Amino acid sequence: PANCSVARPILTSPFDGAHVFTPFDLQWSSVPGATQYKVRLGSSGDAPVVGTTSALHLDNVTAPAGPVTWSVEALFDNCPAVRSTASTFTAVAPPPPCSTPEVPQPRAGSTASTNVEYVIRWTPSGPKATTQYELQESAGATFTAPIGITTDANERSFTHANSGDAPVTFYYRVRAIGTCNGARSLFSPAIAVQVLPSNVTDPSNANGSTPADNPQPTHYQLHLGGGTNGTSIKATAGDTFTATTNQPWLTVTPSTGTVAPEGTTLNVTANTNGLPVGTSTAAVNVIFGSSTGSSRTTPLDNKPPATTTVSVNLVQPVSPTAKSGPPPDALIIPAVAHADGINSKFQSDVRVTNSSAQPMKYQVTFTPTGDAGITQGKQTTLDIDPGHTIALDDVLESWFGSNGATGTLEVRPVTATTNSTSAALPAGLANLLTFASSRTFNTTSNGTFGQYIPAIPFAAFVGRASDPSKSTILSLQQIAQSAAYRTNLGILEGSGDPASVLVSVFGDDGHKLSEFTQDLKGGQHIQLNSILAQKNVQVNDGRIEIKVVTATGKVTAYASVLDNLTNDPLLVTPVAVNATAAAKYVIPGVADLNNGIANWQTDVRLFNPSANIVKATLTFYSQSGAAPQSKDVSLAPNQVQTFDAALHQFFGLTNDGGALHISTTATTPLVATARTYNQTPNGTYGQFIPAVTANDAAALGTRPLQLLQIEESDRYRTNVGFAEVTGKAATVEVTAIPSDSKVAASTQINLAPNQFIQYPQLLKSMGLTNMYNTRVTVKVISGQGRVTAYASVIDSKTNDPTFVPAQ
């Protein structure tokens, strides 16, 4: 029913994976409208009920020593019951009397807005009757002047006001005290909570945070005029204005008025009740006088309208927990950041989709870059409803409180599913249920410059084979170290075991330019910035190979190629050169288009990793439907053949775009990639496009393809392209699903054999606007063809594109 809650209880204590003395207390969050809560020990629907209560806790529960799985069902008077996901902890017998208590393990959300209550919780370290806790709060990480609190409970709430311009960090640690003899444990590892100010100093963005298990309103103060150094929206005393929001949960006052001589403050409030876990985004639009209301339109009096993107994060508690060895279906994003670089400020926006038919719990772990990264991990859990996609914007700062940090993010499904997440359907497309991705971008006052970073299944990491000559080799191409470009190389060990990798650098003629060994500790992520310059290698068009040479360890790798003029990053994803073979490779989205605003070009690279000469036919299929253009090439063993400005220089075509098919007479290992970019007088803004094969494409009977991070807003617009890759017709159903999946828009597209088509601003054409976190699915519903898809997410200010491949 429309008026019934879809929110689920969030299990708050004990934590997932904790060791808890029996008897124990169970706690959970409130669900609006619920009258009672039914508590079950066990994950199945017929698990025993151990209590029903109107409270948000059930105390003195007992269970045999060992794993305990529990869940909570919210009951309503006139609505269906709603059940939490299951959580598992380990029950242990009480310790001997008067023994020294164990070290408590604390957890808390890493961020909270000013005047928002947050809770520090910790694992009980002894029997309730004989254990107290000393919790310390400090303004500094060294705890030189802490404030101590002694309590019998295993949690404590805090509220802090922040009237300044920057976040204020508070640090917490806790130790247990045995009351029978005064024995004290060591202090726990410290955790930190950033209290965010309401004062907005970046007129384009405002961020807030509240605990997901106790959502509270978050407040923001935007300033019209009266400010300096770009901290306020440009306005002049006497200007009339109108302020509106584009989402019902966001309000602004005053909504109209005249700018005062000292400036005017707009008070913005986000009502977080009913918002999902993760990031929810809206906008405050301010128009002046005769402005039309679009931030890309300037009124006659040259007073431009202003748009401030407002984000609120409903965060889950984080604990200082090291990463363990992942299962095959764990998804690992090999690079996330909240850090300043050379003329840059990077952040990562992450998306996670649960496409299954059941609620799923995920364990999310951040591991910092460096030698000690795996021991300094931070971990949280989050629940995602069926069909939903959650946003984790600026994930390191908002969720893990990690400023000035880089590292990796693992998304691990915890909930058991009845469907396999690793089996391949007969048609070849992996039957996955969880999808994730990241956009890491350089944010500036003039917009963003981003790169898509895929989430790689741990099963796709490579190690050394029992026969080392048959070990899988990863290849990264279209890398450079020159006056125009520099390359950062990232390598990640995923299994938790140490590894040594051989890194080899080649020119486009196959000549080896450099080679070195890089050692990694278990779980370590390293990024070797400007690595080619460090090795005194100058190359305009090179290739890097990565091979594990030790018996232990599994790795993946990436390269980030940056334009030295624009600092625009382009992520090069790895290809397993000796494990991928096909008779056709398709690069969607090649172009030679100059519309007076942008000059799009595509540089193509073909690498033949085999020991044989490969003859291939390159065929261009135009989006206009013009006759295909074909030419033959011959690739020598280990040669990378370059096709700069491929449409113009190789095919003699201009002002056209489409898909490039590379065909061979037999199944052949090739690495085909492209860089499509906007060439400007001040540098390039580009996107890396890897080729797909028929096995990467959707067919009748396979699961749909998934496109994440699709947005249509004042910030970004998204073009979506489709290509048939096997020479057979197909009809696809394209569905756009907002983050809450309450409504969806669908359309059908008929694709002729080998046809390529791109839809500018697909969501807008489907009647969807102000969409900040949309998932698009592509399902073949008839025909024998196979279809691939991609999205190009374009910053409205910089026109920088980010290529998002279908999963």
Pairing of strands 87-92, 19-21: parallel
Q: What pLDDT shows up at residue 417?
A: 77
Tokens in use for 350? 């992450």
Examine residue 14 and say whether the peptide bond preceding it is cis (omega within 30 degrees of 0): yes
For residue 300, name the pLDDT band (cuts at 50, 70, 90). very low
Candidates 539, 558, 805; CA nearest to 687 is: 805
Residue 301 confidence class, pLDDT cut points 50, 70, 90: low
Residue 505 lies inside a defined structural domain of this protein: no
- The residue ranges of DSSP E strands in 246-343, in sequence order, are 250-253, 256-258, 264-270, 278-288, 306-315, 331-341
**Which range (148-152, 276-280, 311-315, 563-567) has the least confidence?**
563-567
Note whether 18 and 67 are same-domain residues. yes
Of the candidates 675, 691, 707, which is a domain's last residue?
Answer: 691
**One domain for residues 336 and 449:** yes
Kindly list the distances between the CA atom of residue 695 and the CA atoms of 582, 589, 664, 787, 807, in Å, as whole numbers in the listed order. 9, 19, 16, 10, 12
> What are the beta bridge partners of residue 281?
311
- State the CATH number of the domain containing residue 228: 2.60.40.10
- For the stretch 251-292, pLDDT in tens is 999 999 999 999 999 999 999 998 999 999 999 999 998 544
Identify the residue with better confidence: 404 or 93.
93
Whether 254 and 163 map to the same domain: the answer is no
In a domain, 409, yes or no: yes
Q: How far apart are CA 419 and CA 552, in angstroms?
A: 31
Give the whole-number percent of the chain exceeding pLDDT 70.
Answer: 95
Considering the domain architecture, whether residues 687 and 712 belong to the same structural domain is answered as: no
Going by C-beta distance under 8 Å and a sequence separation of 6 or more, which residues neighbour residue 292?
299, 305
Look at residue 536 in the predicted model and tell me its pLDDT.
95
Shared-domain flag, residues 353 and 449: yes
In this prediction the pTM is 0.92
Report whether 248 contacts 186 (CB < 8 A).
Answer: no
**Mean pLDDT to the nearest integer, 221-241:** 87
Q: 97, 130 in Cβ contact below 8 A? A: yes
> What pLDDT was estimated at residue 567?
83
Which amino acid makes up residue 215? P
Average confidence (pLDDT) over 522-541: 94
DSSP, res 598: -
pLDDT tens, residue by residue, 421-469: 444 444 567 888 999 999 999 888 788 888 999 999 999 999 999 998 8
Residue 511 has pLDDT above 60, yes or no: yes
CA distance 754 to 783: 13
32 and 123 share a domain? Answer: no
Q: What are phi and psi of 739, to 5 degrees?
A: -60, -35
Give the CA distances from residue 573 to residues 3, 300, 544, 601, 803, in Å, rounded to whole numbers and listed in that order.
46, 47, 11, 20, 12
Domain CATH number, residue 786 = 2.60.290.11
List the structure tokens of 423: 């089996």
For residue range 65-121, list pLDDT tens digits in order: 999 999 999 999 999 999 999 999 999 998 888 899 999 999 999 999 999 999 999
- Supply the pLDDT for residue 145: 95
Number of helices and strands in the chain (H, E): 4, 59
Average pLDDT over residues 402-427: 73
pLDDT digits (tens, 9 = 90+) for 559-569: 999 999 988 88
Q: Nearest Cα to 436, choosing from 332, 295, 590?
A: 332
In a domain, 593, yes or no: yes
Please identify which residue in the block is written with the tokens 């040669």. Answer: 639
Residue with tokens 């976040």: 167
Beta-bridged to residue 103, according to DSSP, are: none
Residues 230 and 191 in one domain: no
Which of these, 321, 327, 337, 371, lies nearest to 523 by C-alpha position? Answer: 371
Q: Is residue 742 part of a domain?
A: yes
Answer yes or no: do 306 and 401 share one domain. Answer: no
Residues 350 and 451 in one domain: yes
419: confidence class by pLDDT, cuts 50, 70, 90 = low
What's the pLDDT at 726? Answer: 96
pLDDT band at 341 (very low <50, low <70, confident <90, very high): low
Q: What is the DSSP track for 510-567?
A: S-EEEEEEEEE-TT-EEEETTHHHHTT--EEEEEEEEEE-SSS--EEEEEEEEETTT-
User: 722 lies in a domain?
Assistant: yes
Average per-residue pLDDT in the chain? 92
> With contact defined as beta carbons under 8 Å apart, do 21 and 94 qualify?
yes
User: Distance of CA 749 to CAs 6, 558, 729, 733, Å?
Assistant: 33, 34, 11, 7
Burial of 572 (0-12, 13-18, 19+ CB in 10 A): buried
Q: What would the pLDDT profile of 158-197 be if each residue is shown by its tens digit?
A: 999 999 999 999 999 999 999 988 999 999 999 999 999 9
Q: Rounded distance, CA 569 to CA 71, Å? A: 44
Residue 290 pLDDT: 52
Instruction: Kindly state whether residue 507 falls inside one of the protein's structural domains.
Output: no
Name the band, by pLDDT with cuts 50, 70 and 90, for residue 403: confident
- With a cut of 70, say whether residue 202 has pLDDT above it: yes
Q: Per-residue pLDDT averaged across 14-19, rounded?
A: 92
Confidence at 298, pLDDT banded by 50, 70, 90? very low
Closest CA to 690 of 675, 705, 679: 675
Residue 497 has pLDDT above 80, yes or no: yes
What is the reported pLDDT for 43?
66
Confidence of residue 754 (pLDDT cuts 50, 70, 90): very high
User: Interior CA angle at 517 toward 512 and 520, to 5°?
Assistant: 140
Q: How far apart are CA 52 and CA 46, in angstroms?
A: 15
Both 724 and 774 in one domain: the answer is: yes
Q: How many CA atoms lie within 13 A of 320 on its CB side?
A: 17
268 is a domain residue: yes
End position of a domain, from candidates 260, 288, 315: 315
Phi, psi of 289 (to 5 degrees): 50, -115
Q: Between the CA of residue 31 and those of 25, 59, 72, 390, what are the distances in Å? A: 19, 19, 11, 19
Average of pLDDT values for 129-138? 95
Measured CA to CA in angstroms, residue 188 lies from 107, 171, 319, 401 at distances of 11, 12, 11, 18
DSSP 759-786: ETTHHHHTT--SEEEEEEEEEEEEES--
pLDDT of residue 342: 61
- Tokens (6 digits) for 618: 């390159």
- 709 and 674 both lie in a single domain: no
* 510 within a domain of the structure (yes/no): no
Tokens of 154: 């295993």
The predicted pLDDT at position 422 comes to 44
- Strand pairing category for 771-783 and 730-738: antiparallel
Maximum distance among all Cα pairs of the chain, rounded to whole angstroms: 88
Question: Where is the domain boundary, 196, 223, 248?
Answer: 196
| Three-class secondary structure of residue 378 per DSSP | strand
List C-alpha distances in Å: 408 to 150, 337, 495. Answer: 37, 8, 13
Report the run of H or E that residue 733 belongs to, with start and end: strand 730-738
Q: How far apart are the first and last CA of the chain?
A: 33
- Cα–Cα distance between 758 and 723 in angstroms, integer? 9
> What are the pLDDT digits (tens) for 323-332?
888 999 999 9
**C-alpha to C-alpha distance for 545 and 574, rounded to whole angstroms:** 9
Task: Assess contact for 387 and 737: CB atoms under 8 A.
Answer: yes
Per the structure, the count of domains in the chain is 6
The answer on 452 and 339 residing in a single domain is: yes
191 membership: H or E segment, kind and range: strand 191-196
**SS3 of 62, please?**
coil
Provide the pLDDT for residue 45.
Answer: 63
What is the domain extent for residue 166? 106-196
Interatomic CA distance for residues 83 and 203, integer angstroms: 41
